[in-house]
């Protein structure tokens, strides 16, 4: 066929076919059954493919890939089977949700995805969006703080403190300390101050009446 290639349906790949050439087209037969028809080209080294011919093969490959993805979902947890049945009952394209959940398992890990699928099944939330929301929320949770461990415990506890000075408290509590003297009363500026000698009391201080002093008369002082 002038070194050109022409496609046939995928079901007849490798089968013995009959080719009939015409001036403007060519036909392929399988046991007297027409299976493919192409416009004839007189160029060389060209490929001609009918879009419907590989469709069956692509569908088969897609189904095989979907089965592989489904098996990966079912391998995450035993509860994945009822979860997939819920997807088929409530979602139009259940396999699309399965692909996204399997992709989430590659991002977040198999164990967190398993837990999210089981929780989604418990709450009857059959969607990949709900599983993704659970995984994202649990990843944002901060770990609980643990106990504080001191790396140099002995160094931190061996502290040397000076002994307190208790003498201040003993001096304040004892009665031996002299009481402070009362300050002298201020003098009245209108009254003159009287001088007093030690040991001599001023009149009126003792509360006794004051008698005038009688000087003794010496007989020699009087004239005879």
79 and 39 in one domain? no
62 and 41 in one domain? no
- Structure token pair of residue 48: 């001609």
131 and 85 in one domain? yes
Quick count: other Cβ atoms within 10 Å of Cβ 92?
A: 8
Domain extent at residue 73: 57-140
**Considering 30, 53, 76, which residue would you say is the last residue of a domain?**
53
136 and 72 in one domain? yes
**Considering 140, 169, 188, which residue would you say is the last residue of a domain?**
140
How far, in Å, are 7, 8, 83, 156 from residue 72 at the CA level? 35, 34, 13, 55
**Considering 119, 140, 161, which residue would you say is the last residue of a domain?**
140
**What pLDDT sits at residue 50?**
81
Q: Packing angle between helix 80-90 and helix 94-108, nearest 10 degrees?
A: 140
Nearest CA to 109 among 76, 67, 85?
76
41 and 61 in one domain? no
How many helices, marked H, and strands, marked E, lie in the chain?
7, 5
Q: Which residues pair with 34 in a beta bridge?
A: 29
125 and 83 in one domain? yes
Is 168 a member of any domain?
no
Place of tokens 């993704």: 132
**Would you give the distance in Å from CA 94 to the centre of its chain?**
34
Is 44 a member of any domain?
yes
Is 207 a member of any domain?
no
Whole-angstrom distance, CA of residue 11 vs CA of residue 121: 41
The count of structural domains within the chain is 2
Asked whether 74 and 81 are in contact (CB, 8 A), the reply is yes
Is 186 a member of any domain?
no
Residue 49 DSSP symbol: -
Side-chain-side CA neighbours of 202 within 13 Å: the count stands at: 6
End-to-end CA distance of the chain: 198
Asked whether 63 and 23 are in contact (CB, 8 A), the reply is no
111 and 81 in one domain? yes
**What pLDDT sits at residue 70?**
93
Whole-angstrom distance, CA of residue 201 vs CA of residue 195: 11
**What pLDDT sits at residue 195?**
45
87 and 122 in one domain? yes
Q: pLDDT digit string (tens) for 120-129?
A: 999 999 999 9
Is 196 a member of any domain?
no
124 and 62 in one domain? yes
Residue numbers in the chain where pLDDT is lower than 70: 1-2, 141-143, 148-159, 171-224
- Structure token pair of residue 195: 């001088």
Instruction: Residue count of the chain, please give it.
Output: 224
47 and 111 in one domain? no
Is 156 a member of any domain?
no
40 and 94 in one domain? no
Is 101 a member of any domain?
yes
Is 78 a member of any domain?
yes
Find all residues with CB under 8 Å of 34, minimum gap 6, and list them.
27, 28
Asked whether 116 and 136 are in contact (CB, 8 A), the reply is no
Query: Following CA atoms 25, 29, 33, 38 in sequence, which dihedral angle do they give, to the nearest 10 degrees?
Result: -30
101 and 29 in one domain? no
pTM of the model: 0.47
């Amino acid at each position: 066929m002038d070194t050109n290639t022409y496609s046939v349906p995928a079901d007849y790949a490798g089968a013995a076919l009959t080719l009939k050439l015409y001036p403007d087209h060519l036909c392929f037969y399988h046991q007297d059954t027409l299976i493919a028809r192409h416009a004839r080209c007189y160029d060389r080294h060209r490929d001609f493919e009918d879009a419907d011919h590989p469709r069956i093969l692509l569908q088969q490959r897609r189904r095989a890939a979907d089965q592989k993805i489904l098996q990966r979902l079912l391998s995450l947890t035993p509860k994945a089977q009822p979860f997939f049945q819920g997807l088929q009952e409530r979602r139009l394209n259940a396999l699309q949700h399965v692909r996204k959940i399997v992709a989430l398992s590659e991002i977040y890990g198999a164990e967190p995805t398993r837990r999210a699928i089981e929780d989604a099944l418990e709450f009857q939330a059959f969607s990949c969006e709900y599983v993704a929301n659970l995984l994202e929320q649990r990843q944002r949770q901060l770990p609980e703080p643990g106990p504080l461990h001191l790396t140099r415990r002995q160094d931190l506890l061996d502290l040397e403190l000076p002994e307190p000075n208790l003498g201040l408290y003993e001096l304040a509590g004892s009665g031996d300390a002299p009481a402070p003297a009362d300050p002298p009363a201020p003098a009245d500026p209108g009254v003159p101050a009287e001088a007093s000698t030690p040991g001599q009391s001023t009149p009126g201080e003792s509360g006794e009446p004051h008698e005038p002093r009688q000087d003794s008369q010496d007989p020699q002082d009087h004239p005879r």
